[in-house]
Amino acid sequence: MVNISGLRFTLGERVLFNNESLLIRKGDRIGLVGPNGSGKSTIFKVITGREKADDGFVAVDPVQLSVISARMSVKWEVIVLLKRYSQAQEESLK
């Protein structure tokens, strides 16, 4: 279970989350959709402890957190590899 209450997160002057709340129960399936820079990855970083919120409460079932962290680690590695591949492809076209 993930319980977020009163979450506030800023990047410099930019407010990504202001007094946001979210409850994800065991068995829930969620998807995050939004434009680049809207905070989709940031919310996962806050949930997994990779980023610290400015304010608010984040409670996570530790067993579920280990699964989320493992999946997020794989996701980040894949994203980095895809970005590197894309950059290499762009460079080869120049």
**Binned average pLDDT, 10 residues per bin, the chain of 94 residues:** 90 92 86 86 86 88 56 55 65 69
**What span, in angstroms and rounded, lies between the C-alpha atoms of 26 and 37?**
28
Domains of the chain: 2-93 (3.40.50.300)
Helix (H) or strand (E) holding 17: strand 14-24
Global pTM? Answer: 0.61
Phi, psi of 30 (to 5 degrees): -125, 160
Q: Quick one: DSSP state of residue 79?
A: H
**pLDDT confidence of residue 21:** 92
Q: Which amino acid is at 36?
A: N
Helix (H, G, I), strand (E, B) or coil at 91: helix
Helix (H, G, I), strand (E, B) or coil at 18: strand
**pLDDT confidence of residue 14:** 92
| Rg of the chain, C-alpha, whole Å | 16
**pLDDT confidence of residue 78:** 54
